[in-house]
Chains A and B, each alone.
Chain A
Amino acid sequence: MEINRVVFSHDKRRNHLKDIQAALAPGRITTIIGPNGCGKSTLLGVMSGLYRPQSGQAVIDGKAVHRYSARELARKLAAVHQQNSAPADITVERLVGYGRIPRRGWFGGNGEDDREAIEWALSCTDLADKRETSVEQLSGGERQRVWLAMALAQKTPMLFLDEPTTFLDMYYQLEMLELVRRLNREYNLTIAMVLHDINQAIRYSDYIIAMKDGRVVAQGLPQEVITRESVKDIYGVHVIVGHEEGAGIYIVPVGIGTSTRR
Chain B
Amino acid sequence: MTMKSIKLVALFAGLLAVLAAVFLYSAVTGSIKITAPELVAGLLGGTDERVDVIRDLRLPRILLSMLVGATLAVSGSLLQAVMRNPLADAGIIGISAGAGVFTLVLAGLFPMLFFWTPLFAFIGGAIACVLVYTFAWQGGLSPLRMVLVGIAVHMIFTGIGQLAPAFVRSSIGQANLISASTFSFTTWGDVRLLLLYGTIGLILAYVLFPWCNMLLLQDKTAHHLGLHVVRARVVLSAVAVLLAGSAAAVGGFLFFVGLLVPAISRICVGSDHRVSLPFTALAGALLVLAADTVGRTVAHPLEIPASVILMIIGGPFLLVLLKRGGRMYGN
The interface of chain A, by Cβ under 8 A from chain B, is: 48-50, 69-75, 77-79, 81, 83-90, 94, 98-99, 101-102, 106-107, 135-136, 143, 147, 151, 154
Contacts and interface: CB of A to CB of B under 8 A. Distances in A.
Interface string B215-226: 011101101111
B210 A78 contact: no
Contact of A89 (B214, B226, B271): B271
Contacts of A135: 331
B225 A99 contact: yes
Contacts of A73: 226
A50 B331 CA distance: 23
Contacts of B227: 70, 101
Contacts of A89: 270-271
A50 B223 contact: yes
A81 B223 CA distance: 12
Contacts of A71: 226
> Interface range on chain B: under 10, 10 to 19, 20 to 34, or 35 or more?
20 to 34
Interface in B242-293: 270-272
A102 B225 contact: yes
Contacts of A143: 331
6 contacts: A69-B226, A70-B226, A87-B216, A94-B272, A136-B331, A154-B225
Contacts, number: 75
B137 interface: no
A177 to B, nearest CB: 21
Contacts of A151: 224
Contact of B217 (A48, A85, A88, A102): A85
Nearest to B221: A84
Most buried by B among A77, A83, A90, A107: A90
A29 to B, nearest CB: 19
B329 interface: yes
A85 B223 contact: no
Contacts of A84: 217-218, 221, 331
A81 B220 contact: yes
A42 to B, nearest CB: 13
Nearest to A83: B218
B-side interface mostly: loop
A101 B329 contact: no
A253 B322 CA distance: 46
B330 interface: yes
B217 to A, nearest CB: 6
A85 B226 contact: no
Interface string B300-331: 00000000000000000000000000000111
Nearest to A74: B226
B329 to A, nearest CB: 6
Given A48-B224, A85-B331, A88-B329, 4 more contacts: A70-B223, A85-B217, A98-B213, A136-B331
Contacts of B216: 85-87
A85 B224 contact: no
B220 to A, nearest CB: 6
Tell me which of A86, A107, A154 has the highest count of chain B C-beta atoms within 10 A of its own C-beta: A86
Contact of A101 (B225, B272, B330, B331): B225
Contacts of B221: 81, 84, 147
A86 B331 contact: yes
Nearest to A87: B271
B50 interface: no
B211 interface: yes
A206 B228 CA distance: 33
Contacts of A81: 218, 220-221
A90 B272 contact: yes
Given A70-B228, A85-B329, A85-B331, A101 B210 contact: yes
B2 to A, nearest CB: 9
Contacts of A147: 221
Given A79-B220, A88-B331, A89-B271, A106 B225 contact: no
Contacts of B218: 81, 83-85
Contacts of B272: 87, 90, 94
A106 B331 contact: no
Contacts of A48: 224
Contacts of A83: 218
Nearest to B210: A106
The 8 tightest CB contacts between A and B, nearest first, are A87-B271, A74-B226, A71-B226, A102-B226, A106-B210, A85-B330, A89-B270, A79-B224
Contacts of A50: 220, 223
Contacts of B225: 74, 98-99, 101-102, 154
